[in-house]
Amino acid sequence: MTGIRLDGTAVDVSEGVSLLAAVRGAGVELPALCHDDRFAPAGSCRTCLVRADGRIVASCVTPAAPGATVEVTADDLRALRREAVEVIVSALPPRALAPGNRTELARVCRSLGIGPETATGPGDRGGDDSHPYVHLDRDLCIACGRCVRMCADVQGTFALTLVGRGADTVVAPGTGGPWAQSDCVACGGCVDSCPTGAIFEPGPVPGLTSASPDDPATSTRTRTTCGYCGVGCTLDVVTEDGAIAAVLPARDGPVNRGHACVKGRFARGYRTSPERLTRPLLRRGGRLEPVGWDEALHHIAHGLRAAVQEGGPDAVAAISSARATNEENYLLQKFMRVVIGTNSVDNCSRLCHSPSAAGLMATFGLPGGTDTFDDVERSDCLLVVGANPAEAHPVVGARLLQRVLQGARLVVADPRAVGLATHADVHLRPRPGTNVALFHGLAHVLLAEDLVDHAFLRDRAAGLPELAELLADYPPDRVAALTGVPAADLVAAARLYGRAERPAIVYGLGVTEHLHGTDGVRALANLAVLRGAVGTGRGFGVNPLRGQNNVQGASDMGALPDVLPGYGKVTDRAVRARAEEVWGVPVPDRPGLRIPEMFAAARAGRLRALWVVGEDVCATDPDANRVAQALAACPLVVCNELFLSETARHADVVLPAASWLEKDGTFVNFDRRFQRVRPAVAPPGEARSDFEIVHAVASAMDADLGCPDPAAALAECARLTPLFAGLSHQRLDREGAVPWPCPDPVRPGEATLYQERFATSDGRAHLAATPYLPPGEQPDDQYPLILVTGRRWAHYNSGSMTRRGGNLALDPADHLDVHPDDAARYGLFDGEPATVTSRHGHARLLTRIGVETAPGQVFCAFHFPASGVNRLTSDHADTVTSCPEYKVTAVRLTAGDGPA
Ligand code: SF4
């Protein structure tokens, strides 16, 4: 801290801050129309003038020097600032300061006594309302450039520019033409930063979303956590008259820092969709009909009792949800174990990051990422593997790109040339299914060129001799033959990672969704261990990007068939005893069924009741035809859902559920932070939270699960496991975000793991010497191409939320990305239909020709269940965890939408 004198009063300020920050920090209002503390100051608008040591300066670009004497409120300074603002305002049309306008400019004018009569500009420049979420009123643009810098410096999209000269300067999409056809990815940063409302989110309240929105007199803000991806952005939901008026990124959000993406920021149209389920549905005579809650619950209770009577407790299974809160997951697994008496509860991490949990646990001892994402800010080399964060985790993608633009080196390993790959120093494009060989090739170079940390390997790792022996078989030339990655690129990448002082590994589903996904995670983790870049503070370890909002938390809460909350094994007597003490009943000791095993048991007639909470398994699980067969064969299928999804259509009872904007609890994000989720609005009609639904089903079975509210559920979970013992809603309300492990209520959680020892039985990191094995699916003459599936930026998962609302206009159809060579070979044309056929089914999509996808490979997402993408994927699955091999499916293509 340092001291300055502010209008005669001594104040302490942090070293290095600007005078603007110092003045505002002291609670003194000071306009700064070209400034936003999310990016570097420009000092161009002259509205923040102060006097420092006798000189008039722009406070945003002037550091608060120790001992400085600063004047802010003197009449002459106020007059100067007023003059600067008046000049700006005089060019604007009267509506810029219309009564009720809540923009930053309107507030500044009010504070300086500038009235609407000052705004006398002609207002003839027109607007652009081509985009569903971002509209432009050119007449209100003051060319402050905040939007342009937000887009470039924070979002990293560079979609905007200032065009024109002098007073005619105005913001425009860099591509020219309408906004909707620009490179804009609708993160909303320009909307939030624009001080005048020139760029705005269409809505009933002018200026509501501008810069420092909301008027406490009329708006209510609810602080919550985004319910889309696993980044866990902190959001403020602004409501007016009980309806959501805006969802704004919180400036003090620990991960997002005032940024968001098109999903969290805008995609809420689904909430009020007329297709939203508002009453329970019960199948009668083959049709789903609306019924009251009592009747639906009675039917479920009767069906569950009958299933247990006929087949025992293991004839019942539940699929919990990575979209649901921790408390809902906790309660559902407790219901299955305590009321039904089975461990057959699983969650959709089975389909995405179960290999991460297994692989990270085996190597390091805990099933989460090794570091806090904040550490990435210090990394000097990023290795981004099998992930496209620019689309799937946009806020993380933007922060990674910022780091690269600041000078960090970047290696991307991904078959496709998308997102960050265009900024990479080296882009490795392995053939899908060859990750393990690729990682061993990198490790081979690290060892061969002595780019390893000998002291770390000696003191803190195990398994080096076995790994070294294995790696002898993975020289660059052989790895090049296995993976298709040129040997020189492999060596260059290994040297970048190996010579960095603080290397970071960030990875995604391109590592896990393979036949040998767990081996992939372990082989990737080997690199960090060889470099001593984990548990030492000298790197950002190994960190998975989680897909759905609470995929980490669903597993943390024990919604898994082999572990209880906190990952204690159900086969461990001491672990069960601890749960039994809290729950007061015996806990079954035999691991339950995994999701694919549940479907197999249903098809075989052994599973007699399945409860699916918030997952559209018919759309998102592989080999969808056989999933549908399983649901058809199961005598009772219960489904909690927002909409009549494909899965709900197969159910016997459908229960209307609340969305993330309507419920209370917590999520755990990708870097293990517990964060609060709070209801901003009420669910529609008779919809209930999954927490209430699980309680209601338990009551219908004459059982009492205790923990009457989500806070009590987390408190009970904290009593079960040391990993979460220090967590509570009260603490999270106070502190915002707390990472696990958190064994102590008065000490911080561990953001960076393994600083003293690894959590393995011997305290060492375990290198894995697992050989490369080929993928389950191989192309042949009949199916000559490899299909990779993944995500698109505008959509989320099965698309049930993002297809209902403005995001559909941004990305209206399922596309198949095809390389021009393959398009020519198979007679496909851009925008025309193509039929994709695999050994398991077929799907129809629209062709999109481009070079992002390598020859011999095609790519599509799974956001439009109607196109049937998951009828294509096989039931091959990771040999350790049963995670499906989504990333490798052999297919053939035919033009048109006729039979393949
Ligand atoms: Fe943030 Fe992910 Fe939500 Fe986008 S979807 S706002 S990146 S948490």
832-868, pLDDT tens digit by residue?
Answer: 999 999 999 999 999 999 999 999 999 999 888 888 8
The Å distance, Cα 648 to ligand 1 centre, comes to 26
Determine the atom of ligand 1 nearest the C-alpha atom of 396. Answer: 7
Non-local (6+) Cβ contacts of 312 within 8 A are none
Q: Are 411 and 397 in contact (CB under 8 A)?
A: no
Query: 449 lies in which domain range?
Result: 354-544
Last residue of a domain, one of 256, 272, 288: 272
The Å distance, Cα 251 to ligand 1 centre, comes to 14
**CATH for 869:** 2.40.40.20
Residue 747 has pLDDT above 90, yes or no: yes
Domain count, the chain: 5
Q: What is the mean pLDDT of residues 716-727?
A: 96
Q: Is the dihedral of CA 254, 259, 260, 265 positive or negative?
A: positive
289 lies in some domain: no
Q: Scanning the structure block, which residue is given the tokens 């290095």?
A: 16
Phi/psi of residue 284, nearest 5 degrees: -135, 125
**pLDDT at res. 206:** 54
Same domain as 503, residue 362: yes
The Å distance, Cα 394 to ligand 1 centre, comes to 7
Q: Are 651 and 639 in contact (CB under 8 A)?
A: yes
Determine the atom of ligand 1 nearest the C-alpha atom of 255. Answer: 1
Q: What is the mean pLDDT of residues 456-485?
A: 98
Q: What is the mean pLDDT of residues 505-525?
A: 95
Residue 462 has pLDDT above 80, yes or no: yes
Nearest to 389 by CA among 616, 156, 160: 156
Segment (H or E) for 25: helix 19-25
- DSSP 8-state assignment for residue 249: E
Return the structure tokens found at 95.
Answer: 């509506």
Return the structure tokens found at 190.
Answer: 């320009």
- DSSP 8-state assignment for residue 738: E
**pLDDT at res. 241:** 85
* Whole-angstrom distance, CA of residue 667 vs CA of residue 356: 18
Q: What is the mean pLDDT of residues 792-796?
A: 90
The Å distance, Cα 237 to ligand 1 centre, comes to 14
**Which region among 204-213, 334-343, 575-584 has the lowest average model confidence (pLDDT)?**
204-213
Same domain as 468, residue 596: no
Strand intervals (E) in 141-292:
160-163, 170-173, 199-200, 220-225, 234-240, 243-249, 281-284, 287-290
The Å distance, Cα 156 to ligand 1 centre, comes to 16
Q: How confident is the model at residue 2 (pLDDT cuts 50, 70, 90)?
A: confident
* Whole-angstrom distance, CA of residue 636 vs CA of residue 288: 13
Same domain as 588, residue 523: no
Nearest CA to ligand 1 atom 3: 264
Same domain as 507, residue 479: yes
**pLDDT at res. 242:** 86
The Å distance, Cα 264 to ligand 1 centre, comes to 5
How much is the mean pLDDT over the chain?
A: 94
Adjacent-strand bridge partners of 2: 13
Same domain as 377, residue 473: yes
The count of other CB atoms within 10 Å of the CB of residue 577 is: 11
Same domain as 583, residue 559: yes
Determine the atom of ligand 1 nearest the C-alpha atom of 231. Answer: 8
96 lies in some domain: no
Residue 461 has pLDDT above 90, yes or no: yes
Determine the atom of ligand 1 nearest the C-alpha atom of 228. Answer: 5
Same domain as 611, residue 476: no
Angle at the Cα of 197 from the Cα atoms of 190 and 260, rounded to 5 degrees: 30
**Single pTM value for the model:** 0.94
Helices (H) and strands (E) in the chain, counts: 29, 36
Determine the atom of ligand 1 nearest the C-alpha atom of 225. Answer: 8
**pLDDT at res. 681:** 97
The Å distance, Cα 670 to ligand 1 centre, comes to 11
The Å distance, Cα 632 to ligand 1 centre, comes to 35
Q: Is the dihedral of CA 183, 186, 191, 193 positive or negative?
A: negative
* 692 alpha carbon, distance to own chain's centre: 26
* SS3 per-residue string spanning 671-712: CCEEEEECCCCCCCCCCECHHHHHHHHHHHCCCCCCCCCHHH
The Å distance, Cα 321 to ligand 1 centre, comes to 18
Residue 214 has pLDDT above 90, yes or no: no
* 406 alpha carbon, distance to own chain's centre: 23
The Å distance, Cα 140 to ligand 1 centre, comes to 29
**CATH for 398:** 3.40.228.10
Q: Which residues form ligand 1's pocket by a CB distance below 6 Å?
A: 226, 228-229, 231-233, 256, 260-261, 263-264, 393-395
Same domain as 648, residue 574: yes
Nearest CA to ligand 1 atom 1: 233
* Whole-angstrom distance, CA of residue 724 vs CA of residue 84: 54
Nearest CA to ligand 1 atom 6: 264
pLDDT tens for each residue of 622-679: 888 899 999 999 999 999 999 999 999 999 999 999 999 999 999 999 999 999 999 9
The Å distance, Cα 171 to ligand 1 centre, comes to 26
Adjacent-strand bridge partners of 544: 507
632 lies in some domain: yes
Report the interhelical angle of 435-448 vs 476-483 (nearest 10°). 170
Nearest CA to ligand 1 atom 2: 229
Mutate to test the pocket of ligand 1, among 226, 661, 795 (most ligand atoms within 8 A of CB): 226
Determine the atom of ligand 1 nearest the C-alpha atom of 264. Answer: 6
Specify the pairing of strand 765-766 against strand 461-462.
parallel
Adjacent-strand bridge partners of 63: 18
Same domain as 537, residue 564: no
Nearest to 451 by CA among 496, 485, 484, 412: 496
* Whole-angstrom distance, CA of residue 147 vs CA of residue 198: 10
Determine the atom of ligand 1 nearest the C-alpha atom of 256. Answer: 1
Determine the atom of ligand 1 nearest the C-alpha atom of 262. Answer: 4
pLDDT tens for each residue of 357-374: 999 999 999 999 999 999
The Å distance, Cα 255 to ligand 1 centre, comes to 10
Mutate to test the pocket of ligand 1, among 157, 187, 231, 373 (most ligand atoms within 8 A of CB): 231
Q: Are 57 and 72 in contact (CB under 8 A)?
A: no
Same domain as 127, residue 51: no
Phi/psi of residue 674, nearest 5 degrees: -75, 130
Specify the pairing of strand 170-173 against strand 160-163.
antiparallel
Q: Are 806 and 269 in contact (CB under 8 A)?
A: yes
Return the structure tokens found at 363.
Answer: 């190597």
**pLDDT at res. 210:** 53
* Whole-angstrom distance, CA of residue 483 vs CA of residue 766: 25
Mutate to test the pocket of ligand 1, among 187, 256, 545, 802 (most ligand atoms within 8 A of CB): 256
The Å distance, Cα 549 to ligand 1 centre, comes to 8
* Whole-angstrom distance, CA of residue 758 vs CA of residue 438: 26
* Whole-angstrom distance, CA of residue 325 vs CA of residue 410: 35
Non-local (6+) Cβ contacts of 263 within 8 A are 226, 228, 229, 794, 796, 802, 807
Q: What is the mean pLDDT of residues 334-351?
A: 96
* Whole-angstrom distance, CA of residue 648 vs CA of residue 29: 54
Q: What is the mean pLDDT of residues 188-202?
A: 94
The Å distance, Cα 260 to ligand 1 centre, comes to 6
**Which region among 205-219, 239-253, 500-514 has the lowest average model confidence (pLDDT)?**
205-219
Adjacent-strand bridge partners of 723: none
831: left (phi over 0), alpha (psi -120 to 50) or beta: left
Last residue of a domain, one of 90, 109, 137: 90
Nearest CA to ligand 1 atom 4: 261
Mutate to test the pocket of ligand 1, among 233, 659, 670, 796 (most ligand atoms within 8 A of CB): 233
**CATH for 319:** 3.40.50.740
Query: What strands lie across the sheet with 199-200, from one edge to the other?
Result: 127-128, 135-137, 199-200
Strand intervals (E) in 164-276:
170-173, 199-200, 220-225, 234-240, 243-249
Q: Are 747 and 732 in contact (CB under 8 A)?
A: no
Nearest to 639 by CA among 623, 617, 661, 662: 617
DSSP string, 64-126: --TT-EEE-S-HHHHHHHHHHHHHHHHTS-GGGG-TT--SHHHHHHHHHT--GGG------S-
The Å distance, Cα 75 to ligand 1 centre, comes to 45
Residue 207 has pLDDT above 60, yes or no: no
Residue 899 has pLDDT above 70, yes or no: no
Q: How confident is the model at residue 204 (pLDDT cuts 50, 70, 90)?
A: low
115 lies in some domain: no
Nearest to 676 by CA among 257, 222, 249: 222
Mutate to test the pocket of ligand 1, among 393, 661, 667 (most ligand atoms within 8 A of CB): 393
Between the alpha carbon of residue 181 and those of residues 159, 388, 809, the distances in Å are 11, 22, 11
**CATH for 176:** 3.30.70.20
Report the interhelical angle of 517-531 vs 354-364 (nearest 10°). 40
761 lies in some domain: no
* Whole-angstrom distance, CA of residue 251 vs CA of residue 267: 20
376 lies in some domain: yes
Mutate to test the pocket of ligand 1, among 187, 235, 261 (most ligand atoms within 8 A of CB): 261
The Å distance, Cα 348 to ligand 1 centre, comes to 19
Determine the atom of ligand 1 nearest the C-alpha atom of 261. Answer: 4
Last residue of a domain, one of 90, 106, 133: 90
Return the structure tokens found at 285.
Answer: 């005579």
Residue 213 has pLDDT above 90, yes or no: no
pLDDT tens for each residue of 64-100: 999 999 999 999 999 999 999 999 999 999 999 988 7
* Whole-angstrom distance, CA of residue 425 vs CA of residue 534: 23
Nearest to 558 by CA among 726, 758, 718, 345: 345
**pLDDT at res. 205:** 60
**CATH for 24:** 3.10.20.740
- DSSP 8-state assignment for residue 335: I
The Å distance, Cα 101 to ligand 1 centre, comes to 29
Mutate to test the pocket of ligand 1, among 395, 661, 797, 801 (most ligand atoms within 8 A of CB): 395
393 lies in some domain: yes
Phi/psi of residue 510, nearest 5 degrees: -65, -15
The Å distance, Cα 789 to ligand 1 centre, comes to 20
Residue type for position 10:
A
Identify the burial level of 645 via C-beta atoms within 10 angstroms of its C-beta, where 0-12 means exposed, 13-18 middle and 19 or more buried. Answer: buried
Same domain as 481, residue 391: yes
Same domain as 216, residue 73: no
- How many residues can be counted in the chain? 900
229 lies in some domain: yes
Residue 211 has pLDDT above 60, yes or no: no
Determine the atom of ligand 1 nearest the C-alpha atom of 232. Answer: 8
Nearest to 265 by CA among 145, 184, 368: 184
* Whole-angstrom distance, CA of residue 472 vs CA of residue 177: 56
* Whole-angstrom distance, CA of residue 835 vs CA of residue 897: 5
